[in-house]
Amino acid sequence: MVEAGDFTALAAEHLDRLMPMHVIVSETGHIRHVAPTLAKLLPGGDLAGRRFLEVIELRRPRNIHSMEDLRFAVEAPLHLRFRGALQTTFRGIAVPLAAGKGLLINLSFGIAVADAVRDHDLTNADFAPTDLTVEMLYLIEAKTAVMNESRNLNRRLQTARIAAEEQAYTDTLTGLKNRRAMDHVLARLTGSGARFALMHLDLDYFKDVNDTYGHAAGDHVLQNVARVLVEETREADTVARVGGDEFVLIFDRQVDPDRLRGIASRIIERLEEPVSFDGKTCRISGSVGIGTSTLYAQPVAEVMLADADAALYASKRKGRACATLVNEVEGWVGEGADREKQTA
Amino acid sequence: MHGLINRSIQCFLRDTYGSDVWTEIAADAGLGFDNFEALLVYEDAVTEQVLRFAAERLDKPVALLMEDLGTYLISNVGSGGLRRLLRFGGVSFVDFLHSLDDLQDRVRLAVPEIVLPALEVRHSTMKSFTVVCSFDRPGFGHVIVGILRAMADDYGALVLLNHLGGNSGIEVIEVEVLDIGFARGRSFALGASVT
């Protein structure tokens, strides 16, 4: 049978290749050999002949002051640091050499491997080919690149999400369409030559509700208004909240002035029904301006909106809570030669 | 194909031929966008469309375009990351060549979902090698040629490269190393600061 020692008798250079960060310490506690990569890290030249425990500080296990103590730490995980300028901490393990030959202490970088490699400018050749340190460095670098890319992607997605929300067509408080949606509907209708009516509604006394009972009451009232507007219109019509207390209703293929006036009256009537919120009674009303596509040879969204707005203000001047048709407004000139001058 | 590949193609075309040209190619290829996300995966057909329309627009054979792409990936300043990652493969150009065997596994450590050409390196003498590139999309061997050419420069090695063609998903590249220390090469430190 072959003695174990026959296998382990290694030439120093081979030991250095296998474990380029080991130290051999004699029975007396003196350093006999420092492997090349470790030697590269240590300033102050050759450590051979110096006492091991004077050169290194054992941080774990503690209370190791002599070679005798160190022998008890054989095969235990060691955490250590070189005394002096070198800040790098190492992990290590000590194993006894043949009787009377001292200890072999093999070291490696701990978790701070990346910093250590950078600080000491180590290369592939400084590590044993079996050591995965280089793979670890590669991974750190590759993962960092991927993480950066991922962060960028998240930032772009976040920006896109905000943009998408801004572009969404729904008013989040009331569930009605928003101004953007209304613009689209109007653009489509004016472009296609369809017959339709446009009703501009502005709530009366809403500011008082907000100021007196607070925004929660105001929001409750707005939601109630939205419900009334949806109930008083047909599926094909468009109801949009285009400002704090402003609404635009678009009636598909409905251009009869009397019918429209009737709808407006009903809406105003229902808006005037008291709404209770948190034990308080909120009262509002509404003023309306009504225009129809048939009043224009070539309806233009901006013009129709401006005219409906003017009609709405005529209603306000008349004492609120009523509806006015665009062509009833004083000074209405229709599509005359002065039209452009007037709207400019 | 993985966004990293598509994005590389995009950056190559944009940096080499200008963003207007890239935008045109993206439109010709019917992408509906002009910015690939590096971490998303796209249909293979998308990549093929882009390469086809790029070759048409630039009036260059696809093979040549792909070789230029490979060179760009290494020598472009902005993509220093890839050059560094490949340099982890070895201290010399020959070490690097041998490390190509593991390239696919290495890349998958960092980006598990990516599918790259599998490379197998064989050497007939100490100085002549063949790299066998297996990939289900043809033409990517030319990208490898470009990468090898640029990496040889990076290591300061003088090499002759020859794409021997191939079929059914296999392309063969001949590499002859004339002088391993022909020029100084670019420096490489394992532990460069990671940003």
Question: How many independent structural domains does chain B possess?
Answer: 2
Q: Are strands A238-241 and A246-252 parallel, antiparallel or unpaired?
A: antiparallel
| 195 residues of chain B, pLDDT tens digit each | 999 899 999 999 999 999 999 999 999 999 989 899 988 999 999 999 999 999 999 999 999 999 999 999 998 866 677 888 888 888 889 999 999 998 888 888 888 889 899 999 998 888 899 999 999 888 899 999 999 999 999 999 999 999 998 877 899 999 999 988 888 888 777 776 544
Name residue B163's beta-bridge partners: B173
Query: Is residue B109 domain-shared with residue B83, that is, in the same domain?
Result: yes
Query: Is there a domain that residue A93 lies in?
Result: yes
Residue that terminates a domain, selected from B60, B82, B103: B60
Are the Cβ atoms of B190 and A124 closer than 8 angstroms?
yes
Residue A118, min C-alpha distance to chain B (Å): 4
The answer on B39 and B85 residing in a single domain is: no
Number of domains in chain A: 3
CA distance A78 to chain B (A): 25
In a domain, A173, yes or no: no
B108 & B151 share domain? yes
A125, A142, A149: residue with CB nearest B85: A142
- Considering the entire predicted model, what is its pTM? 0.63
Judged by CB atoms closer than 8 Å, whether chains meet at B90 and A123 is answered as no
A15 touches A35 (CB < 8 A):
yes
CB contact under 8 A, A138 and B191: no
In chain B, residues with a C-beta closer than 8 Å to the C-beta of A118 are: 189-193
List, for residues A41-79, the tens digit of each pLDDT value: 887 777 888 999 988 888 888 888 888 888 888 888 999
What's the average model confidence in pLDDT over A218-234?
Answer: 95
> Are B124 and B95 in the same domain?
yes
Assess whether A110 and A206 both reside in one domain.
Answer: no
Same domain as A109, residue A40 = yes
Is-contact B80 B187, C-beta < 8 A?
A: no
* A110 and A150 fall within a common domain: no
Interchain contact A122–B (C-beta under 8 A) = yes
pLDDT at residue A5 is higher than 60 = no
Whole domain around residue A13: which residue ranges? 4-131
Do B49 and B84 fall within a single domain? no
Structure-model confidence comparison of residues A315 and A100, the more confident one: A315
Mean pLDDT of A241-260: 95
For residue A125, the chain B residues in CB contact (below 8 A) are 91
Residue A8: per-residue pLDDT: 65
Tokens of A16: 């250095």
Residues B44 and B88 grouped into a single domain: no
The mean pLDDT of chain A is: 88
Q: Please check whether residues A187 and A91 belong to one and the same domain.
A: no
Residues of chain B with Cβ-Cβ distance to A114 below 8 Å are 191, 194
Range of the domain at B55: 3-60
pLDDT tens per residue, range A80-138: 988 877 778 899 999 998 888 899 999 998 888 888 888 888 888 889 989 888 888 88
CATH code of B83's domain: 3.90.1520.10
Contact between chains at B195 and A144 (C-beta distance less than 8 A): yes
Amino acid code (one letter) for B154 = D
When pLDDT is averaged across residues A211-222 and rounded to a whole number, the result is: 94
Nearest CA in chain B to A134: B88
Confidence of residue A25 (pLDDT cuts 50, 70, 90): very high
Q: Which residue has the higher pLDDT, A34 or A163?
A: A34
CA distance A167 to chain B (A): 18
B97 phi/psi in degrees, rounded to 5: -55, -45
φ, ψ for residue A66 (rounded to 5)?
A: -140, 170
Asked if B191 and A118 come within 8 Å (Cβ–Cβ), the reply is yes
ipTM, 2 dp: 0.77
Residues A135 and A128 sit within 8 Å (Cβ to Cβ)? no
Determine contact: A125 vs chain B, CB below 8 A.
yes
Closest listed residue to residue A174, CA positions, set A210, A214, A221, A226: A226
Please choose, from the candidates A22, A33, A41, A14, the residue with its C-alpha nearest in 3D space to the C-alpha of residue A113.
A41
Backbone angles phi, psi at A118, to 5 degrees: -70, -45
| Chain B interface includes A216 (CB < 8 A) | no
Contact assignment for B191 to A116 by CB distance below 8 Å: yes
